[in-house]
Chains A and B, each alone.
Chain A
Amino acid sequence: MNVTLKVWRQKNRNDAGRFVTYEVKDISPDASFLEMLDVLNVDLVKKGEEPIAFDHDCREGICGSCGIVINGRAHGPGRGIATCELRMRVFRDGDMIVAEPWRAKAFPVIKDLVVDRTGLDRIMVAGGYISAKTGGVPDANAIPIPKPIAEEAMDAAACIGCGACVAACPNSSAMLFVAAKISHLALLPQGKVEATTRVQRMVEQMDKEGFGNCSNNYACEAECPKEISVLHIARLNREFIKAKVL
């Protein structure tokens, strides 16, 4: 199949950036979107042009590196997938595809489709952990955890930190990302000990990074490759109120 790709090119952080249009020919519908970019990039290199920079690594939807807004949707059309899992078969022959980077003040563009998401790491550094020292912990079976609780914690822990929630949110809010970690750790008995300080510090850092506010659009949940529920945001709010008010 053939497609027309309109893609954001930006040399570096300070460059203004612009869209450039490319014709991509003879792509297999079974190829992934990123493989389509690979093919285009080899062509560009051969022509002596710079290939399109984009983050990617595992290409199986778990590392969270990739992230492109495709035709106005974070990770492209479809539910529960990362960009690397998007297959060309969802497009039609001759389609025009617009590819843009995640856009948020907290995610400055580094180059083309590559953005700086280290803000998410700084939120994690501000308390997204349990202070368990290496060694000196009880036997793994010492604390039984009810299966439904463990399952719910796992649902939240499945977050891959790709930032699609921020990209999809009209307010560039990182609430779903923060909520996933808060919820995961607040559900588990091991995590409850530090729950009060954790939620306050992580929310403070989130605000400092310049993410927007949650206005409960739930676009984040719709675009999350791991389909993390917004009910975790409710838990984050609950934890925050508990910490601040109670």
Chain B
Amino acid sequence: MTLDSKIPAGPIEKKWDTHRFNLKLVNPANKRKYTIIVVGTGLAGASAAASFGELGYNVLAFSYHESPRRAHSIAAQGGINAPKNYANDGDSIYRLFYDTVKGGDYRAREANVYRLAQVSNNIIDQCVAQGVPFARDYAGYLDNRSFGGAQVSRTFYARGQTGQQLLLGAYSALCRQIDVGSVKFFPRREMLDVVLVDGQARGIVARNLVTGEIESYAAHAVVLATGGYGNVFYLSTNAKASNATAIWRAYKRGAAFGNPCFTQIHPTCIPQSGDYQSKLTLMSESLRNDGRIWVPKQKGDKRKPEDIPESERDYYLERLYPSFGNLVPRDVASRRAKEMCDNGYGVGPTGLAVYLDFSDAIKRLGRMVIEEKYGNLFDMYHEITGEDPYKTPMRIYPAVHYTMGGLWVDYNLMSTIPGLYVIGEANFSDHGANRLGASALMQGLADGYFIIPYTIGDYLATTKFKAVAEDAAEFRGVREELSAMIKKLMSINGKKSVEEFHRQLGKIMWDNVGMARTRESLKKALEEIPKLREEFWNNVKVVGESNDLNADLERAGRVADFLELGELMARDALHREESCGGHFRVEYQTEDGEAKRDDEQFCYVAAWEYAGRDKEPVLNKEPLTFEYVKPSQRSYK
């Protein structure tokens, strides 16, 4: 496999403009002759589908939800970055670019990141025009807050519901296209495979989740906007249905998987309280703006936090990183919290938590201000834990949150399968080894509104397509394979539920491929995962019928994929003998416990290529070059 990233030549600030000019256009009258499939209608998918529809393409949009508004983009709380410099604090496109490359620990493509920073300003304009009610100041202008990994205020927000408001904006743009008939939306359809004809992605096969029917849809290009795979850990902040099936099956059809081991652990989540727990709830990172993180100086101090005097508290982030303090990037904050707890300073009943304290901020700004900024987050915390964070500090602990890895794409966001595009969290592209806060929303919308509408046109304009219908042999073949897989899942009739397998996999992943990874732990995971997979295919029990709404069957297919993906993650993590961003290998750290990169050997994107069942995947490398932001050890001190 050759990886051609197609990065345009020229100075970085000109690359995207030059490239846009060089991209071929589709004649407006011809656009409706092209059909584009968009799978997933979260921020990236909905914005892409709406923009395609607006341009005049014929769009088929798919979601396993009943409505695009249910996508997990909705749960993003804190905000979206854009270097508008409204705060007059020295922000610029270049600074956002710099912060993102540095925050990603020099494992992202400079050209992609620069483009992302460039178009991010347009996103804010677009969203405001759609009616997104961003927070405003008393003059009626947009307000900003600061976020981890940055020293400027560039984050736009809508209370603690920024993701919701942006998604509803994209959803409304999508509704408008559904209204005029350019987009057809298919609810409750789960894409199970991509169909290749002559090596081009020409359609998908999806399961109608209500009737169980296996349906085929043909098109000229397929866009996957199916989100990340954090649920491989079972407990994560992802929604329950979030899964890797679409990208994993595309991987097995030939799309390379980039940097699968790069997962982000979010520092501010509500700690786990019991075995029954089905997911972890994230508290927006924006809380770190006003909250101070601390643990008692004394190990195993069981006093109530209010009773611990100031002098006996260790505000360890402020101590270790005086210049960034509580606003260090996520990976650093998470790892330090884990370290504190591992060393016995953890608080709460499990000892797996640290305090996030607002008493200073409430004293300084007043309860009203705090309520206005974070009211819904405080309510949520209160609801879940039964404790009032206005009175007592929150307890937080890191949890799996985002996956920087994903299908490998070139500068045009096309995977290694011609005609198969991947956008949003589903691709690997812009965040390197660690994503900065408020950048996920930015990337999803940048890809959907402002990048793929241009790049896909070039592909459609320059590619020859033969006529393909849904009854073609290629579709039939895939349908048969899928029916056989479903039949197999339904017929095993073993003793263990899908849920139990998923939890077991999650535990293996968290313990061995989690926040701190070692050679031994990864090797252990590589032994245990195949064993569990073997057991799954012999002992899983899936009840109900396949021609009916069957959540158990849906989950079985997803867990089957996680059981393969988990292994690839461990393999990738084992091969990457360095620490960078969210990938922390215990063997590779500096004396004071910071991640130690190895730019000599690992300054590349690991793009894994499927080699067939029971065969080791092939590692391809896309070297990364840094012309503008010279790699240095990240320092937030």
Q: Do chains A and B touch in the complex (CB under 8 A)?
A: yes
**How far in angstroms is the closest Cβ of chain A from B336?**
25
Q: Which of B142, B173, B176, B495 has the most CB of A within 10 A?
A: B176
The 8 Å CB contact of A134, one of B54, B72, B135, is B54
Q: Which B residues touch A184, using CB under 8 A? A: 131, 133
- Cβ contact within 8 Å between B449 and A134: yes
- Cβ contact within 8 Å between B50 and A134: yes
- Cβ contact within 8 Å between B131 and A190: yes
The 8 Å CB contact of A137, one of B65, B84, B125, is B125
Q: Which B residues touch A49, using CB under 8 A? A: 543
Interface residues of B in 20-59 (CB under 8 A from A): 47, 50-51, 54
- Cβ contact within 8 Å between B131 and A39: no
User: Which among A98-106, A121-129, A166-174, A230-238 touches the partner chain?
Assistant: A121-129
- Cβ contact within 8 Å between B140 and A118: no
- Cβ contact within 8 Å between A190 and B128: yes
* B544 within 8 Å of A (CB atoms): yes
Q: Which B residues touch A190, using CB under 8 A? A: 128-131
Interface residues of B in 500-553 (CB under 8 A from A): 500, 541-544, 548-552
* A241 within 8 Å of B (CB atoms): no
Give bound CA distance, A80 to B375, whole Å.
13
The chain B residue sitting closest to A27, CB to CB, is B276
| Tally of contacts, chain A with chain B, CB under 8 A | 226
- Cβ contact within 8 Å between A53 and B549: yes
* B450 within 8 Å of A (CB atoms): yes
* B307 within 8 Å of A (CB atoms): no
Interface residues on B, range: 35 or more
**How far in angstroms is the closest Cβ of chain B from A68?**
15
* B396 within 8 Å of A (CB atoms): no
Q: Which B residues touch A146, using CB under 8 A? A: 136, 140
Q: Which A residues touch B172, using CB under 8 A? A: 124, 128-130
The 8 Å CB contact of B552, one of A51, A61, A145, is A51
Query: Taking chain A's interface residues, is the majority helix, strand, or loop, or is none over half, making it mixed?
Result: loop
* A191 within 8 Å of B (CB atoms): yes
- Cβ contact within 8 Å between A65 and B70: yes
The 8 Å CB contact of A45, one of B240, B278, B543, is B543
- Cβ contact within 8 Å between B128 and A150: no
* B171 within 8 Å of A (CB atoms): yes
Interface residues of B in 338-373 (CB under 8 A from A): none
**How far in angstroms is the closest Cβ of chain B from A83?**
12
* A76 within 8 Å of B (CB atoms): no
- Cβ contact within 8 Å between A134 and B51: yes
- Cβ contact within 8 Å between B129 and A141: no
> Would you give the 0/1 interface string for A31-51, flagging 1 where the beta carbon is closer than 8 Å to chain B?
110111011011011101111
The chain A residue sitting closest to B159, CB to CB, is A154
- Cβ contact within 8 Å between B274 and A28: yes
Q: Which B residues touch A151, using CB under 8 A? A: 133
Give bound CA distance, A118 to B185, whole Å.
11
Interface residues of A in 1-45 (CB under 8 A from B): 11-12, 27-28, 30-32, 34-36, 38-39, 41-42, 44-45
- A sample of 7 cross-chain residue pairs with beta-carbon separation below 8 angstroms, ordered by A number, consists of A34-B278, A50-B544, A134-B47, A134-B54, A140-B84, A147-B137, A150-B140
